[in-house]
Amino acid sequence: NAGVTQTPKFQVLKTGQSMTLQCAQDMNHNSMYWYRQDPGMGLRLIYYSASEGTTDKGEVPNGYNVSRLNKREFSLRLESAAPSQTSVYFCASLETGKLGEAFFGQGTRLTVV
């Protein structure tokens, strides 16, 4: 009964490096989301995927790309990390038809130096 699994939990990158955050859910949810959470800013949507094969920009997409590999997996890629991308990243999935009842991964604490 894993729910939403997110990896890695911690990561330190140098400016300009790239990395991919992985997310997988086993609840057969159609919708998946990537958020970042910064002090005083709350959770801000980076990208979302309403269904397998579709992705769209959220509120703060610049510097990120995503891939909905299949119904289970939704990855977030930083092509060239910047210090402004230092944040806590959360992946979430939603049960179809239940607006807002989101299930979250444990988060990735990313520091870009």
Residues that bind other proteins (CB under 8 A): 31, 33, 35, 40-43, 45, 48, 50, 56, 90, 94, 98-107
Cβ proximity to other proteins: between 15 and 57 the closer is 57
For other proteins, give the closer residue by CB, 17 or 61: 61
Q: Name which of 76 and 102 has its Cβ closer to other proteins.
A: 102
| Least distance to other proteins, CB of residue 91, Å | 9
Q: How far is the CB of 77 from other proteins (least distance, A)?
A: 21
DSSP state, 85?
A: G
Residues 6+ apart with CB under 8 A from 41: none
End-to-end CA distance of the chain: 36
Residue with tokens 């299930």: 103
Paired strand residues for 23: 6
Exposure of 12 in the CB half-sphere (CA atoms within 13 A): 1
The CB-of-80 to other proteins minimum distance in angstroms stands at 27
